[in-house]
Structure 1
Amino acid sequence: MDSFQVDSSFQQIDELIKEYLLFRGFSATFRSFESECRNDKDKRFQADKIIEELYTFITNSDINGLIDYWKYLDLRYFSRLDARFFGSVKKFEEDLLKYYLVYATQQKRREKVLEFFDAFGTELNGNSGWTKWFGLPFSRDPTIDPNYDIFFTKQWLEMFTISLHNFLSAIFQNMPLPSLLCFNIDRIQRYVLEDEIKTLRNEINSIKNGKTETGNGDTEFKLKINKPQEPTNYTKMLQRARALFDQKDRNAPSRSSTTSNKVNSDNNSVKSAEIYTDDLCLTPISEYAIDNSQELPGEDINPFTIMNQEIYLEHTSGISHAKFSHKGNLIASCDTDNIVSIWSYSGAPVKSKIDNLNLNITCLEWESRSDKLFLMGTDERFVKIYNKESRSIVHEFQTDGHFPRVKQINCSPVEPLFACSSSPKEVDDGWNNVNGLLITWNLKTMMIQDKFILEPSMSKASGLPVAPIETLQFNHNGQMLVTGDRVGCIRIFDIRSFKPIMEWSLPKITNISLSKKGNGVICSSRFSFDENNIYVVDEAGDLTQWSIHKPGTIISHSHLNGFPPSPLLSPNHASLTKPSFRKRTSSTSSVRSTKSNKSFSGIYLTNGFGSGSTNNGNNGVTNGGNLNKVPMVSFSNDTKHVLCVGGNGGCQGVIYQTSTGNQVQLLAPHNSVLTAVDWTTVNGNSVLTGAMDGSVRVTKMVTDIST
C-alpha cells in the first residue's frame, strides 16, 4: 500500500471512530480524540509534514522545540531501526542542528547562535564534527569560509531535505500497521491472489490445449511457478533507502527545497467525448511457427522464456502510441486517425474507443495509482482526463497558449499529481534555445500546482542550451523528476521547489567518443532501479548511464546496435511485400488512413527512418520523414533490460542488456515497421509492440531461471 493509500485510510478510519464515539455518546472521548488528531505529532506519517514541522522550529529559532521534536521521532521510530541505520540517524540530527545555525546566521540572529553554543557547547565539545563550528559566530563571512561555505549553499540544503524525506518515507513504508489498516490490505491482497490464480489457470489450460509454442507443457508450468517474485513496494523502498545511505561517495552538488508549492486556479471547461464500442475489436490472433532461435552475440542470451504471444487488431491505421495500464491488464493505444482505444488483452473483456474531437493526440499516460483515469495530450493545449468507469472525459487542462503542443506526460507514483512538458507548435529539428514549458497539475483539485519555463536566458546562467522536453519520469516516491530534451540536456527537478537541482548535457562528454548521428534528441531518460544513476537513450542509439551523486559523470556507455533502425523501404512502397495476415480496408492499404484529413502531428509515419521530410500529398503520408522515437524505447522495471524498435529493418522488437548494450533477445517480427513499444512487470513480464499496419502484439514472458 503506497503512502497516499495509507493517508486516505487514516482519514477514513479517524472519521469512522469519531462517528462511533458520537453514536455511543462518548462525547468527552470524542473531544479528546479530536484534539489529539489536531495535534498529531506523527502528521499522519507524511514525511513532507514532519520535515515542514522541523523547519518551522528552525525558522522560529526555537532550538528547544526542535530538539524535543527530534527526540520524539528518535524514541518513536529511529530507536527501533536496525543498528546499521543509527549512524545515518546521528548524521541527520547533526546536519539538522547545523542548518539551525546556518539559518540563524543568514537571518542575522547572532544571539541565537551564541545561545546555542552556551546551551550545548559542553555536550558538543570533543565531537570532531563540531570542532570547527565553534568559530562560526566569529567568522566574517561564513558563506565563503571553507569551514562552512558548503552548508550555506542551496544545493546542500536541498540534498539534505531529499535524503531526510526518503529516509522517513522508507521508515513509514516498512513499519507494521494496526489491524484496522491491515484489514484493507489483506482484502486487496486476496483480490490480487485471486487474479493470479485465475491467470495461472488460464495459462495451464492454454498449455493443455496446445495453444503455446512449447515442447513440454510441464516444463513451462514449472518455469512460471519458480519465477522469482517481484519485490513488493515496501521492499523496493527499503532497497533504495539502503542504496542511498550505504553509498560512500557523497560529493554530489544536488539540491532540494522546502519552498511551498503554488496552487493556481484553473477554469478549464469540461467537454463530453463520444464513446462507442467496436464489436470487431478484441480479436486476438495467436502466433504460429514463430522462430525465436536466432543466435545473438554476447552474454545473457535469451534471458526470458516466451510463454505466449498474440496479435490484436484494435485499429485500422498505424499505431502512434500504446501503453500498458498501471495494473498491467489493460492497454491504451492511439492510431494515426487519432482514435484512442482502451482494451484488455487478459481477463474480462474491456473495450471502448474515444473520439478526440478532431485534436491530434501527441502522448498517452495512465494514472499511476489505479486504472481508473487515463490522460491524453494534444497539440492544441489540451490534456484530457478520461474516466474509464464512466466512459467520458471528466476534465480538460489547458497549457499556456505559447506552448500548445503537449510533448510528454508522467504521473506521480504516490500522489494525485502529473507532470507534462509542452512546446511551441512549430516542428523544427534545429530547435536550440527555444522556450519549453514544464507543468505539474493536481488531479484532486484539478488545478495547476507548479510551472517552470525553460527560456533562453537560462543558458547564460547554466551554459546549457534550452529546448522543449521530450521525456520525463518521476522517481519511486514522486519527489524528483528527470527530464531529457531535444538538444541532449538532462535535468533533475525537485518537485517541492520545482526547480532543476542537477543538469548536464550529453554533447559535453570529452572522454567518450559518442556517435555523432542524430540531433541529440533524447528518446528516454529514467532513474535506475536503485536510483543512484540515470539511464539515457538518445536518437543516435547511444545508451549512457550517469551518476546522480556526481552530476555529469558518465558511468557507462554503449551503442544499441540496430536502434534506430536503418531505412527499410524505398519511397515507392508503403508496406512490406509480405502479405498481410488479415483483410485490410481501404484505410489500411497505406500507412496513413485515407478516411481522415486531419494533419497528424504527434508522429510522422513514414516509409523509413530518414531525416527530413517530403510530403507526397497523399493524406499526410510522408516519405523519408522522422518517426517519433520516444515511444520506441521502454525499460524493464529493474532497469536490467531495455526494449527498443530494432531488428529486421524496424519491424522487430529487440531486448538489450543495459549493462553492456548487447542484444540479448529478439521478439517476433511484425508485417510492417514498428512505431511503439511498452513493458509491464505487474503480472510477470509482458511487452507490447505496435506497428504501422495497426497491429499490436502482446508477448508474455517469464525470466529464464537457467540464465
Structure 2
Amino acid sequence: RGCSGALAAFDAERGEGRAFDRADRVAELIFGRHVPRLDAVGLSRTLGLLRDRYFSRLDASFAPATAELETSIARLFVVTAVKARRKDKIAELFEAEGERLVAAGGDNEWHRWFAVPYVKRPGSDPKFAPYFEDKWADAVVASARNFLSTTFAAAPEPAMLKFGAARRERNRLAERVAALERELAGMREQKRSLVSKSVSASASKRVDASRKEGKNAKNVSASSVASDESASAYELPPPPPASVPSRDAFRTNGLTFKRQDAFSFHAPGRPVTHARFAPNGALVASAGDDGAVRVWSVAERDDDDDDDSSGVDDVVIASLHVGERAVGALAWDVASASRKENGNGDFSAGGVLYVGTRDASIRAWDVGERAVVADAAGDESFPHCEDLRCSPCGRWIARSAATRDPWAMLESKTSGEKTSKPRRSPLGRVEVWDAVTFAQTSSLPLGPAAPCAHELAFNHNGKMLACACADGEIRLFDVNAGRLVAKWRAHPKGHAATSVAFSNDNERVFGVGTDGVVAEWSLRRLRGLLSTVDVRETCGVDTRTRLALDPSGRAVALTSAVANGAVAAPERMRNDENAFSGTNEEVDGTPTGGLPRRGGFSVSLPGSGAAARCVDWHPTKSAVLAGCVDGACMLTTLEMSS
C-alpha cells in the first residue's frame, strides 16, 4: 500500500508538470481539479510553480495583474469551499497562502475574508454576495485563461530549446559573407576589365586618327601614351588635394597621418551635427540637419591596400528619422553596451542609443530591435537640448537644456556676413534622469544667472558631472547629492566654455572655449593649471569648438571652422604656483584674471577642408571621427610617438 500511494502521488505530480507546457492545461488543472476538489495544497503548489516559471520572468509592469489573478483564484476557492461547507479547506488555503495574499492585497482587503468561515450565511451578506454569483466565477475563469495565454506567449524561450541556434545563425551568416565576398571580387574584376577595354579602345582610335593624318610612329606613340593617361584620369579621378600640413610636419610634432576614409550616409550639403563611437568602437551613431539618425559599422582595411574599391566596409545597421534640424544630442548607453559584450549577444548588432531632441524630449532607441523603447519629455520651458550624456554605471542620464538654441546664426552688423558667435546666452538647465524609470529626478543648481551648459561630461564612475558653461566657467557637481562641488573660470570674461572632458585616470579635466585655447587642469588641486595650447589658427575663434580626448590622455581632437578637424597636444606646464593664480575659485570664491597661452602644438586634419561640426575619438585606437558641414563623416587614423 505504501508503494501504491507513492506511485499515485508521483503520477499526480508528473501530470501537473506536463500541464505547464500549455496555458489551457494549466487553466484546466486549476479550475477543473484543484478548485472543484478543494485541493488547497495542490492549488498552492501550482500557483508557486507559475510564479517561479513564468510570472518571475515577466516585465515588472505585469506584477499588478499577476497579483490580481492569484487573489481572484483564492477568492473562488474560498467561495467554493463555503458552498460545500468545508471550513477546514478554507483554513488550509489561508495557512498556505495567507501571508502572501495579505502582502499582495493589504490588510484592509483580506481581513474580512479571513472571517468568512465564521459568517453564518456569507452568500446573503452584501459584502460577499457578488462573489457567490455564477457570472463572477465564469468571468474569473475566462480572464485567467486569457491572461495565462498572454503570459505563456510573452515568456522567454528556455535556454535548452535554443541549443545550437546561435551556432547555426553564425554559420549561415558566414556563408552569406563568403558569397558576398565572391560576388564583390567578381565585380572588381569586371570593373578592371571594362576600364582596360575602354583605355585600349580610346588609344586605338587616337592611333588610327594619327596615321590617317600622316604622323610618324614617334608621334603616334606619344599620342597613345597621352590617350592612356587621359582615359585613366577620366575613369578613375584622383582625390582632391588636401590643403593641410605635410606629413613631415605631422612627424615633427610626434604625429603621423596614416590614412583617411570618408563616409556619406546623410544628405549631401547638409551638416553632420553629431557623430559618436559606440563604447567598444564597433559602431558609429551619426545625425545631421536632414533629421536622420544612422548607426553604421566600420571595418578598417589594411594600410597597404591601395584599391579604393576595397577601402572601408561600411554597413548601415539602423536608421531613425526624428525630424529636420530636430536632433539636439546623441549618447550611447554604456551599461547596455557592457551587457551586450558580456552576454550571448554581439554588440555589433546594436545597443541602446539616447536621442535628445529640440522639443524637450529624450528617446531611447534600441538599435538591435530597431525600435524606440522609451520616450519622455523634460521641462517644456527649456525645449532645446544642448547636450546629452549617460553615466558609465548606466544609472543616470544628464540633459543640458536651454530656452533656445544659443548658437543660432546671426547677421553681423558690420560686415553683413553670418557668424557663429553666440548672442546673449539663453537660460540653461541641467536635468538628471533615472535611466531605469526613464523619468527626471532632479535639476542641478547653475546659479542665479542660470547660464547654458554647452557640454557635459561624467567621470569614470558617474558620481561627478562637469559642465562647460556659457559664462566661461566649468562647474563640477556631485550627481548623487545634487549639489555644486566646485567651479572656476576657465576662459576670460566674454568667452564661453564650449567643451569639457575627464581624463581616464580621473585626475585631470580638459576644456576649450570660444577664445581658442585648450587647457588642462588638475582635479587634485583645482588652482593647478597643467597645460594649455593655442588652437585659434587650426580651429578658429568665436566658434563652438568641441573636443574629444585621446584615451591615453596625450592629445585632444577638436572641431574646426576651417578644416576637417584638428588634433592638439598641450605642453605640460611647470609646477608654478603663480602660473594661474586667481583664475580658479571655490564655490564661494570670485573669479579673476585670464588664461595664459603656452606651448604645445595644433595641426589640422587632412581632407576636403569642409568645417567639422562634431568630433569623437575611438575608445581603443588612435582614430578620430569628424562630422563635416558637407554631409560626410571623416575617419582619420593617426600614429602618435611616445
Please report the TM-score for the alignment, with normalisation by the length of structure 2.
Answer: 0.49
TM-score, reference length from structure 1: 0.45
Question: Which is helix-richer, 1 or 2?
Answer: 2
Of structures 1 and 2, the larger Rg is shown by: 2
Q: Whose relative contact order is higher, 1 or 2, with alpha carbons under 8 Å and at least 6 apart?
A: 1
